[in-house]
C-alpha cells in the first residue's frame, strides 16, 4: 500500500435489478474496503445504454481517497463487481454492476489491464455530469470539464432525486 493517499475517481453503473440500491450498497462496501480511506459520491443519474441495448442505467461517480496502488484498486473494484453477480457474456452486455477506474491522481498508465486516465470518459455524459458534481474545476486532456460536457449535450441524462 502507498504511504500517502491518492484521490481516485470511479464510475459506477447498473442496469439490471434495482440499480440505485446496488450503487448505494457498493458505496458502503467501498468505504469498508481495506486501503480506501474515504468515499464521496455524486448524485445518481439515469441514462440510456451507450452502444448497447437493455434497460436504462443508474450511474454515479465516487471520489475515493485510497492507499491502494492502481492495479490493486482495480482488483478491489472487480471483486466487488463479481460479488454483485457481474457477468460478461458479450461486449456491453447489461450488468448488475459496472465499476470503472476513471482517474487515479495524476497517473498516466497504459497497462494491459488498465489505462489511465480512462480513454473514453470524456465522451460519456454518464461519467462527465457526475464527475463535474464532485470536481467542477477538473480538466481532462487539458480542457475544462464543462467544455467536454458541451460537446456531448446530445446524450440524454437525467439527474435522479436524492
Report yes or no on 130 lying in a domain.
yes
Q: Between helices 19-31 and 70-83, what is the axis angle to 10°?
A: 140
Domain count, the chain: 1
Supply the residues annotated as catalytic: 86, 95, 98, 100
Q: Is residue 67 part of a domain?
A: yes
pLDDT at 70 over 80: yes
- CATH number for 155: 3.30.70.560
Give residue 135's domain range.
Answer: 6-159
In a domain, 115, yes or no: yes
pLDDT in tens, 17-59: 999 999 999 999 999 999 999 999 999 999 998 877 789 999 9
Dist CA 60 CA 14 (whole Å) = 10
Cα distance between the two ends of the chain:
34
Q: Tell me whether residue 96 is in a domain.
A: yes
pLDDT tens, residue by residue, 86-102: 877 667 667 889 999 99
- Does residue 102 belong to any structural domain of this protein? yes
Q: Which residues contact 148 (CB under 8 A, 6 or more apart)?
A: 122, 128, 140
Give the per-residue pLDDT at 89. Answer: 63
For residue 1, is it within any domain?
Answer: no
Amino acid at each position: 500500500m502507498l504511504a500517502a493517499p491518492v484521490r481516485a475517481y470511479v464510475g459506477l453503473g447498473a442496469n439490471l435489478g434495482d440499480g440505485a440500491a446496488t450503487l448505494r450498497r457498493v458505496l458502503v462496501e467501498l468505504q469498508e474496503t481495506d486501503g480506501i480511506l474515504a468515499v464521496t459520491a455524486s448524485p445518481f443519474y439515469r441514462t440510456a445504454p451507450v452502444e448497447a441495448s437493455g434497460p436504462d442505467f443508474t450511474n454515479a461517480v465516487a471520489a475515493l481517497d485510497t492507499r491502494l496502488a492502481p492495479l490493486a484498486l482495480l482488483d478491489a473494484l472487480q471483486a466487488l463487481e463479481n460479488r454483485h453477480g457481474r457477468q460478461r457474456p458479450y461486449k456491453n452486455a447489461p450488468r448488475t454492476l459496472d465499476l470503472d477506474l476513471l482517474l487515479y491522481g495524476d497517473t498516466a498508465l497504459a497497462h494491459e489491464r488498465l489505462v489511465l486516465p480512462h480513454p473514453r470518459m470524456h465522451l460519456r455524459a454518464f461519467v462527465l455530469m457526475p464527475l463535474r458534481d464532485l470536481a467542477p474545476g477538473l480538466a481532462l486532456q487539458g480542457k475544462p470539464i464543462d467544455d467536454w460536457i458541451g460537446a456531448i449535450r446530445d446524450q440524454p441524462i437525467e439527474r435522479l432525486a436524492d
